[in-house]
Structure 1
Amino acid sequence: MVMVVLTLTVGVARSTEVINLSPPEKYSLSQGVATITFAQVDDGHLHRFEYTAKDGTVMRFIIIKKNGGAYGVGLDACENCGDAGYYEKDGKIICKRCEVAINLATIGFKGGCNPIPFDYTTQNGRIVIQTSVLDALSSHFQ
């Protein structure tokens, strides 16, 4: 009897666990260009940033350095689950809405529950994002 109650209690606790997204990190924003230094995101963990689009929409994007050294850059939203966002748990990136673990190698590519990718460049030790690119994607957060 006690074991059944314990099992149900654990099951209920997991199903009601609230996942909070990490707070957005600071970055440089000047003259329509957002820049994030490699040093800020080189640790292999998920980094979240916030941007307010020209239309007033507050949106989020994420960056993670992948195992091969490339950067995974995308919106903190996907085509399937909307703007629920992603979180990191036990070294995995997980969609907050559907709880699917995202294959780290595929972050930055379209499809499935992957973060929606967008164009960016790298130069002089920085990731450079044109804010016009983010502005064009604000509908994913409305």
Structure 2
Amino acid sequence: MRIGEAATRSGVSAKMIRHYESIGLLAPAPRRDNSYRDFDARDVHDLTFIRRARDLGFSIEEIGRLLALWRDRDRPSREVKEIAQAHVADLEARIARMQDMVETLRHLSEACAGDERPDCPILTGLAGEKTKAAGSHAGQPDQADQGADQR
């Protein structure tokens, strides 16, 4: 099948298929006499696998390792589990950082009057300055400083 049909069947755009071929994630499809790529069912399966893994947030490197493990029928499942668990830990850490960002922005937004006055705790917090409304308590940095330190 040609690239358009492979794209439709797998849910991966033709542009991304070409990209995956160029970086070696997907083996280059053989060419027909007219130089069109000729994809088969295995290619579509691999592309679907890649799309699903991307939807779960796996990196290209992780997907390459997962594809290699998928193709190796003698693979130890612990290797697959280790990749998945490491990815879960990374996602959880990113979620925690995002929750910190939400709390910092919520705190700064609540401290901002949002009126005609020029003073704005949001801009002051982004600039790394202390605000009266968002100032330190007992010598501890405010949430804006904590969020900035973690990024």
- For normalisation by structure 1, the TM-score amounts to 0.22
Larger radius of gyration: 2
TM-score normalised by length of structure 2: 0.21
More strand by share: 1
More helix by proportion, 1 or 2? 2
